[in-house]
Amino acid sequence: MSEAEELDFKQQAVMVMESFEQLKAVSDPFRSKLLTLLIEQSYTGQQLARLLEVPRSKVHYALTELENTGFIRVARKEELGGIVQKFYKAVAYSFRPGEHLIPQSESIENYNRNMMLNTLSRAATRAMTAPEEAFINRAEVQHQPRLTMQLEARVSEDTFIRWLMKYRELLKELEDMEEEPDGRFYYMSSVAFEIDEPYFEENRKLGGADHSKR
């Protein structure tokens, strides 16, 4: 029999990193991957080691670093066979460096790149484990409850930032919608960043003109 102890824990919307030690902690690819998993749900070190197929000692060290720098904390404890298991969870849904850390450009670059790669990896996992009906065509493309898209656009940085603000507002509207008794869960994942050159052939020919691929 197991006995659970729920702790007073609630994830923040955003955590702002205040120290270089924090930024350095999540610039490491493995710790960044753990943090991405712990944003979604709580895990014990043993569960994470099994999930990622790595030694428990490696996970334990990474969890200690993340806990000491304030990114995760124990969300609940369970006693099983006289052994207390600690379930860790991220303290926030998202993390961003404070403005005073901007001079640490290399560490910020590593952190942002790792988080994007982890997000894409989680999206791939979710697609692989989604139910079959999620990919069945039931209507015209515009009326299907799914979306697959890649897009390249040549615009100024200010224009792109303004568009992203509108996009975030739209996502917030979806997140804040009242839950429906007969509703289903839908998953979305987004990444956006500057690129050196377009990959789509039409964009190369037109010198980076705005084209999308669906």
Q: Give domain status of residue 27, yes or no.
A: yes
Instruction: Provide the β-strand partners of residue 83.
Output: 80
Average pLDDT score over residue span 57-79 = 95
Q: Say if residue 92 is in the same domain as residue 6.
A: yes
* Closest to 25 in 3D by CA, of 102, 97, 119: 97
Spatial separation of the C-alpha atoms in residues 39 and 122, rounded to whole Å: 11
124: in domain? no
**Is 201 among the domain residues?**
yes
135 and 205 assigned to the same domain: yes
Indicate whether 108 belongs to any domain: no
* Average pLDDT of every residue of the chain: 87
Same domain, 28 and 70: yes
d(CA 89, CA 133): 31
- Whichever domain contains 62, its CATH number is 1.10.10.10
The answer on 140 and 67 residing in a single domain is: no
Number of independent structural domains in the chain? 2
Where does residue 48 rank: exposed (0-12), middle (13-18), buried (19+ CB within 10 A)?
buried
The pLDDT of residue 207 is 63
141-153 mean pLDDT = 86
The whole domain housing 179 covers 131-213
Alpha carbon distance 102, 187 (integer Å): 32
Asked whether residue 121 is domain-assigned, the answer is no
| 73 pLDDT above the threshold of 90 | yes
- Model-level pTM? 0.65
Q: Mean pLDDT across the stretch 113-133?
A: 89
Q: What is the pLDDT of residue 208?
A: 44
Contact between 26 and 71 (Cβ < 8 Å): yes
Residues 153 and 70 in one domain: no
